[in-house]
């Protein structure tokens, strides 16, 4: 039952960040150039994802191949047909 509370908390935080993005974006573009704002947005998001996903583990060949197929890149050991 406690996991349900954690799940709802995560959904609430996601909703707040997602909704606040539009307000913060309007304010930030008035204060700084748009490309700089986009750079900061992706840098902050990357740092948060890096910390929250715990990137201390190493990827195995199978998981790396699965990730590459997921984004549309064929694995190296399989020939791709043109």
Q: Is 81 a domain residue?
A: no
Q: Is 21 a domain residue?
A: yes
Q: Is 19 a domain residue?
A: yes
Give residue-wise pLDDT tens across range 22-60.
Answer: 888 888 888 889 888 888 888 888 888 777 776 666 666
Q: Is 12 a domain residue?
A: yes
Short-list 1, 51, 41, CA closest to 21: 41
Confidence check: pLDDT of 82 > 60: no
Domain holding 48, by residue range, is 2-70
Rounded to whole angstroms, the Cα distance separating 12 from 17 reads 9
Which run of H or E residues covers position 13?
helix 2-31
Q: Is 79 a domain residue?
A: no
Domain count, the chain: 1
Q: Is 78 a domain residue?
A: no
Q: Is 32 a domain residue?
A: yes
């Amino acid at each position: 039952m406690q996991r349900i509370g954690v799940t709802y908390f995560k959904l609430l935080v996601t909703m707040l960040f997602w909704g606040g993005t539009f307000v913060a974006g309007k304010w930030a573009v008035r204060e700084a150039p748009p490309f700089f704002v986009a750079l900061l947005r992706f840098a902050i998001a990357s740092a948060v994802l890096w910390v929250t996903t715990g990137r201390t583990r190493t990827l195995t060949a199978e998981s790396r191949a699965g990730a590459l197929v997921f984004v549309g890149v064929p694995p190296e050991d399989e020939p791709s047909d043109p």
